[in-house]
Amino acid sequence: MLTVSEARERILSRFQATAKETLALIECANRVLAADIVAPHDLPLFNNSSMDGFAIRADDSAEADASSVTLSVVADIPAGSAPNVTLAKGQAARIMTGAQIPEGADAVIPVEDTDFSSQAAGTLAPKTVSFTKHIKPGDNVRSRGIDLHEGDIVLHKGRRLKPQDMGLLAMLGIANVEVHKKPRVALFSSGDELIDVDAPLTAGKIHDSNSYVMKALLQNAGVDVMALGVAKDNRESVDALLQKTVNEELDLIISSAGVSVGAFDFVKEAIESQGRLDFWRVHMRPGKPLAFGEYQGKPFIGLPGNPVSAFVGFEVFVRPVLEKLSGQLDGSRHTVKVRCAELIESDGRESYLRATIREENGIQIAELTGHQGSGNLLSLVQAGALLIIPAGVKCVPVGQEVDAILL
Ligand code: AMP
Ligand code: MG
């Protein structure tokens, strides 16, 4: 049986990043950059005030510690205007936050530190302004280029765009962005016991929960989902669902259940009839029945049916595939070292256990969230992390360090 990393390598080698496309910035949230972003200009682009106040020559405030200094106010500079004055000695200009600093000025005294106390909207600038505070050159000024310079690489290829990245691109006037196409994934569940969430439960039936978990995972990973519904436990039903993928542009087909050794597990067989299976088991827990192959030339991953196993299979195998397809180079999940608060027994397979993580005196402590049955979705709902117990380990003593994937 393949180890987890062997299986993952085999799967990943089958995929490459989707094609590039250029989209309007507004369409690019959560997309992955297909090229580095180079700043077309400095940020900020002009020296501007970080406060509402008065632009002054810092020299003019030299006496201000000892006594009050009074300057004549020769201009009023709201945000968005281009100042048309050059301040001479003894002069000031009223200025608003974000407005361009006029020639001659090199600092701003905040309005709160002057005798001009009227801050109501619409107030006209005073004729003079007085203050008793010493101001240094550069005080309350955001200088051109202090954030970044023209030509700097501001975001690297392979980065999934966060909301704050969108703002930076907008600040730089980058209206169109080269990104990777959204991967498109077909999804189905299988099992005679499964019924819709809005149908009443009858004897022996359960609601299909995997479809909901998988669809949410895929959508959060920036994927277009083709939801195929639920296949019954017979060849005709599985074949009929799989047939729907044939004329579709898809990067991957994923299913849950029906890939084990049960008498009604028809998914493997249906895949092999029009494609092939590279493997259908991995040496791990939960999630041993995990199939990989292709159907009519389209890559296929068959996840286990048990809800926790399906989730773990997604995290361990599907997520890396989606990241590779998306062109994403920065992983979406992070692994940290944690210490186990209890003794953990394992069967020697690479195991993924549900745990909460808390910090105690700077140490991350992991505690299991109840019984670790692969049908116990609550244990996953309550978990903040998956502990990875490596292959070959049968016992993890209290206090031992293990890796944990943060969820
Ligand atoms: P199987 O892989 O078909 O043997 O299914 C393993 C277990 O997972 C069984 O208890 C199934 O009832 C359960 N299961 C399969 N598919 C789903 C699903 N879509 N939602 C919830 N549980 C499921
Ligand atoms: Mg089944």
Protein residue whose Cα sits closest to atom 14 of ligand 1? 305
Which residue intervals of 94-209 are DSSP H helices?
Answer: 163-171
Q: How far is 210 from 313, CA to CA, in rounded Å?
A: 12
3-class SS at 41? coil
Average pLDDT of the segment spanning 95-116: 97
Whether 222 is in the pocket of ligand 1, judged by its Cβ within 6 Å, is no
Average pLDDT of the segment spanning 366-385: 97
Atom of ligand 1 nearest to the CA of 257: 2
Cβ atoms within 10 A of the Cβ of 374, count? 21
Whether 189 is in the pocket of ligand 1, judged by its Cβ within 6 Å, is yes
Whether omega for the bond prior to residue 183 falls within 30 degrees of 0, making it cis, is no
Q: How far is 79 from 395, CA to CA, in rounded Å?
A: 66
Q: What is the pLDDT of residue 196?
A: 96
**Between 264 and 8, where is the model more confident?**
8
SS3 content of the chain, % helix, strand, coil (to 5): 20, 35, 45
**Closest by CA position to 318, among listed 391, 406, 222, 254:** 254
**Closest by CA position to 214, among listed 303, 345, 116, 107:** 303
Q: What is the pLDDT of residue 275?
A: 98
pLDDT in tens, 200-226: 999 999 999 999 999 999 999 999 999
Q: Which of 189, 205, 290, 306 to mutate to test the pocket of ligand 1 (most atoms within 8 A of CB)?
A: 306
Decide: 390 and 323 in contact? Cβ < 8 Å: no
**Closest by CA position to 18, among listed 289, 359, 322:** 322
Residue 309 CA to ligand 2 center (angstroms) comes to 13
- Residue 92's φ and ψ, nearest 5 degrees, are -140, 165
Predicted confidence band at 261 (pLDDT cuts at 50, 70, 90)? Answer: confident
Strand (E) or helix (H) holding 11: helix 4-12
Q: How far is 205 from 196, CA to CA, in rounded Å?
A: 10
Protein residue whose Cα sits closest to atom 6 of ligand 1? 305
Average pLDDT of the segment spanning 221-242: 97
Q: Per-residue pLDDT for 120 more than 90? A: no
Amino acid type, 152: D
Q: What is the pLDDT of residue 366?
A: 98
Q: What is the pLDDT of residue 264?
A: 80
Tokens describing residue 277: 């299976």
**Closest by CA position to 374, among listed 277, 288, 246, 250:** 288
3-class SS at 346? coil
Q: Per-residue pLDDT for 65 more than 90? A: no
Residue 264 CA to ligand 2 center (angstroms) comes to 6
Which residue intervals of 289-361 are DSSP H helices?
Answer: 307-313, 319-326
Protein residue whose Cα sits closest to atom 16 of ligand 1? 305
Q: Which of 234, 256, 312 to mutate to test the pocket of ligand 1 (most atoms within 8 A of CB)?
A: 256
Residue 258 CA to ligand 2 center (angstroms) comes to 5
**What's the chain's average pLDDT?**
97
Strand (E) or helix (H) holding 377: helix 377-381
Q: What is the pLDDT of residue 356?
A: 98
Q: What is the pLDDT of residue 35?
A: 98
Ligand nearest to the backbone CA of 286: 1
Protein residue whose Cα sits closest to atom 10 of ligand 1? 306
Which residue intervals of 207-364 are DSSP H helices?
Answer: 210-220, 235-243, 267-273, 307-313, 319-326
Whether 208 is in the pocket of ligand 1, judged by its Cβ within 6 Å, is yes
Protein residue whose Cα sits closest to atom 12 of ligand 1? 193
Predicted confidence band at 367 (pLDDT cuts at 50, 70, 90)? Answer: very high
Q: Where do the DSSP E strands lie in 214-311?
A: 224-231, 252-256, 275-279, 284-285, 291-295, 298-303
Residue written as token pair 């009929």: 240
Whether omega for the bond prior to residue 286 falls within 30 degrees of 0, making it cis, is yes
Q: Per-residue pLDDT for 126 more than 80? A: yes
Q: How far is 241 from 228, CA to CA, in rounded Å?
A: 7
Average pLDDT of the segment spanning 252-261: 94
Average pLDDT of the segment spanning 338-345: 97
Share of the chain above pLDDT 70, in %: 100
Predicted confidence band at 285 (pLDDT cuts at 50, 70, 90)? Answer: very high
Whether 262 is in the pocket of ligand 1, judged by its Cβ within 6 Å, is yes
Q: Where do the DSSP E strands lie in 8-64?
A: 20-24, 37-38, 48-49, 53-56
pLDDT in tens, 161-175: 999 999 999 999 999
Q: What is the pLDDT of residue 117?
A: 78
N-terminal to C-terminal alpha carbon distance within the chain: 27
Ligand nearest to the backbone CA of 262: 1
Decide: 183 and 252 in contact? Cβ < 8 Å: yes
Q: What is the pLDDT of residue 262?
A: 85
Whether 293 is in the pocket of ligand 1, judged by its Cβ within 6 Å, is no
Whether 376 is in the pocket of ligand 1, judged by its Cβ within 6 Å, is no
How many residues make up the chain in this entry?
Answer: 407
Whether 231 is in the pocket of ligand 1, judged by its Cβ within 6 Å, is no
Residue 229 CA to ligand 1 center (angstroms) comes to 14
Average pLDDT of the segment spanning 341-365: 97
Share of the chain above pLDDT 90, in %: 95
Decide: 13 and 401 in contact? Cβ < 8 Å: no
Ligand nearest to the backbone CA of 264: 2
Report the alpha-carbon angle 261-253-183, nearest 5.
150
Whether 192 is in the pocket of ligand 1, judged by its Cβ within 6 Å, is no
Whether 309 is in the pocket of ligand 1, judged by its Cβ within 6 Å, is no
Alpha-carbon separation of residue 219 from 185, 186, 187, 283, 330 (angstroms): 10, 12, 12, 28, 18
Q: What is the pLDDT of residue 220?
A: 96
Whether 48 is in the pocket of ligand 1, judged by its Cβ within 6 Å, is no
pLDDT in tens, 32-49: 999 999 999 999 999 999
pTM: 0.94
Residue 13 CA to ligand 2 center (angstroms) comes to 29
Alpha-carbon separation of residue 262 from 86, 257, 266, 289, 312 (angstroms): 85, 10, 9, 11, 21
Average pLDDT of the segment spanning 59-64: 93
